Chains A and B, each alone.
Chain A
């Protein structure tokens, strides 16, 4: 990436004169956010007049490495080095990227762009080859693209793209251009150092929080700590007495302080001592009541998500019956970059600078809130200091424009860590009940899985929601374990806690419950947990990753007392993954994760180093969540505020991670979420192996303490 180049050479549907621009026809994008798509100028891959491949990133970069991965795909087809591609992070623009959604979540990015981007790249390459062939008067079949140029293979003649772009752009784009075969890959499947890594390490990469504008002021924010509370009053004089404070703005449930710098804005907010009013329904809410209601929802019939066979018949002759209830808590995202947004509302228009996973939706939301036409709102997207689903919500933008519309200058609004933690959109708390019947030979016959919790999809879909949250039941309805009869139900149960996407969401929830339950059943029938799984799993790719971790983790060696190994295997987001976690538990019941062995078959690997990085990432992020993650509610407010009470893994607590990546050319699967999902049950199963205690209520450390 040429880091200095933020200029978007293909801005809008406009074309730089003489450049070759390729419309990328996207297949129906799968995205969690249900958004309308349209068709319009969608050019975001091109070759500019000096021969550089240009790419406006169609997905958003939050650390998962998609900037590098997508660039590698483009570079492969256009026969250039990834470092020579000019990558830009485009503004929110639904029409330009339609039908693909710029929204980035659900481990969808590579799966969304893989085919259409290669096809577009192949067309561009064919156009350049055809232009060279015409100029040389030779058959195009004798030419190929190499190193940013077209080569006539018999004669060795070479023409760089720069010399061909004008002619290629003037001719009709080839309609039929085959993509590079896997046997010819020079970029895909290798390890590419992150294209944005150097600038990030040096501190020169620009995140939303790093935006500076002439005349910009800084603002702090406090929102009612009790959900649903309203601002009752503040000590405005005390706030204004802080040097550098220029404004105090009150809202219904919020107060903002505007100042010359963040320090003044923060100090003034503390001095203002905001007072809040709240009603008893909100201020009386306690976590136990919320969790009890979610668990009680399991006793309702629920809405059927999947059913097959006859449960009663399959249970009739069961030799073994297992039933258990599992609960999973609310979780915060705790991105390293706290929530923030810069906005300037003036003269009937609005400009926004922020790091968002949904730039085009943020633009729509801002336009609606300000009652402005869409074209009067610009969302400049920036790198994100972590997303994990937090930046799939637009509350940062909404709060910032509520403030910015009241002042003439641009304003940078930064949440404190405490505000960020207490006003997150939390991973829902869930309860699951699973009931498994087995035959005398230990084979699963009947499988009933009831799921209850907040429905994110219900919030997003409104009246279109019909009772089953397709995200919440994801994974639960596609188990890798066959059964003669099966039923999966979902029951929505809301509370005052706002909920949203959190790396893995529903499939992670499913994975924890299903892989915990299968482990319990294996132990119940006296089988080895890996053997038991292999005795059921038919899918060869799932079997393969399980066999790899069995071998790599020295599974058959008996560990020392106090040490336990737990296994889990998933097929989610089109990726197969197995993990063996090895934990030790000391006499004070403190869990330490020693080693995690992961095998993955995610189909065609794009960036080998990137896949391995996502495994490190998911394992460590998931270990934080599984061991310690829990947001609790007391008197209607979140009790955790900062990293002292919302504990996340530190380097001295990070396990050794050994990774094995299966090489094949199957369709690429997602990598953002699978490692985070597989580690939760692997750890729970390891804690059981180490202690004999089965923790069915996360987080594990708290569960073990009270077991």
Chain B
């Protein structure tokens, strides 16, 4: 079975069932390991990717649902201005610990900033509560999202 997807701007055909969740297609078939497996139940956000700019849980999204849409993974996001702002902010604030959840956090943050270019703490808490971090980087994630929003706004000004 084959499924054709547009991932990070490139159209690619994969030998995979349309039922296969994006998480596993991206990791095992496309070999894009930045999208992480955490729970496979839509509970932790580690597998977050953007589909047509909106965050979805890769573990809950059959590949077939993304046909004809634009999939952006962490690997693609970091090539875009918003992704670059997020990485710069993440580094500046020194957010990362084990780091395993961070690509998913950054994808979720991108979706948040797209919807709300200047999120406050309440907006960040609401937008980011789908992503679990066991290392407790939440305080720095809050700071980094605000900083990324500033950097991104500065670029667009």
Contact = CB atoms under 8 A, between A and B. Distances in A.
A and B associate in one complex: yes
Interface of A: 62-65, 191, 193-194, 196-198, 200-207, 209-210, 212, 218, 243, 260-263, 266, 334-338, 383-388, 414, 416-417, 609, 613, 616-621, 624, 642-644, 648-652, 654, 656-657
Contacts of B28: 218, 260-263
Contacts of A260: 28
A338 B134 contact: no
A617 B136 contact: yes
Contacts of B27: 262
B141 A203 contact: no
A675 to B, nearest CB: 9
Contacts of B56: none
Given A198-B87, A336-B133, A386-B135, A210 B33 contact: yes
Nearest to B86: A201
B111 to A, nearest CB: 14
Interface in B89-118: 90-92, 94-103, 106
B24 interface: yes
Contact of B24 (A262, A613, A643, A657): A262
A203 B136 contact: no
A197 B34 contact: no
A206 B31 CA distance: 12
Given A201-B96, A336-B36, A243 B1 contact: yes
Interface string B6-26: 000000000011001100110
Contacts of B99: 63, 196-197, 200-201, 205, 383, 385
Contact of A386 (B41, B86, B98, B106): B98
Contacts of B41: 417, 642-644
Contacts of A243: 1, 17
Given A261-B20, A417-B38, A616 B98 contact: no
B24 A63 contact: no
A210 B101 CA distance: 13
Given A202-B103, A203-B102, A650-B138, 10 more contacts: A198-B87, A263-B25, A335-B100, A336-B38, A336-B98, A386-B100, A616-B138, A618-B136, A620-B138, A651-B141
Contacts of B50: none
CB-CB nearest 8 A-B residue pairs? A203-B34, A63-B98, A200-B99, A620-B136, A385-B100, A652-B125, A654-B138, A263-B24
B116 to A, nearest CB: 15
A15 to B, nearest CB: 32
A203 B75 contact: yes
A338 B38 contact: yes
A337 B43 contact: no
A616 B136 CA distance: 6
A262 B30 CA distance: 13
Nearest to A203: B34
Contacts of B46: 336
Contacts of A65: 97
Classify the interface of chain B: helix, strand, loop or mixed: loop
A386 B129 contact: no
Contact of A263 (B20, B95, B131, B142): B20
Contacts of A654: 136, 138-139
Contact of B36 (A206, A385, A613, A642): A385
Contacts of B98: 62-63, 200, 335-337, 383-387
10 contacts: A201-B99, A203-B35, A212-B33, A261-B28, A336-B98, A336-B133, A386-B98, A616-B137, A619-B136, A644-B41
Contacts of B75: 202-204
A643 B100 contact: no
A200 B95 CA distance: 10
Classify the interface of chain A: helix, strand, loop or mixed: loop
A332 to B, nearest CB: 11
A384 to B, nearest CB: 6
Contacts of A203: 33-36, 73-75, 78, 102-103
B126 interface: yes
B39 interface: yes
Contacts of B131: 650-651
Nearest to B35: A203
B140 A335 contact: no
A388 B134 CA distance: 10
Given A201-B103, A263-B24, A642 B33 contact: no
A4 to B, nearest CB: 16
A651 B96 contact: no
B78 A202 contact: yes
A617 B94 contact: no
A266 B102 contact: no
Contacts of B100: 63, 200, 207, 335-337, 385-386
A201 B40 CA distance: 21
Contacts of B21: 263
Contact of A651 (B40, B73, B125): B125
Given A386-B134, A618-B136, A197 B95 contact: yes
A646 to B, nearest CB: 10
Contacts of B97: 63-65, 194, 613, 617
B134 A621 contact: yes
B128 interface: yes
A383 B24 CA distance: 21
A212 B33 CA distance: 10
A338 B132 CA distance: 13
B37 interface: yes
Contacts of A262: 24, 27-28, 37
B29 interface: yes
A417 B94 contact: no
Contacts of B17: 243, 263
B71 interface: no
B128 A200 contact: no
Nearest to B103: A203
Contact of B91 (A193, A334, A621, A656): A193
Contacts of B125: 651-652
Contacts of A263: 17, 20-21, 24-25, 28
Most buried by B among A191, A203, A261, A609: A203
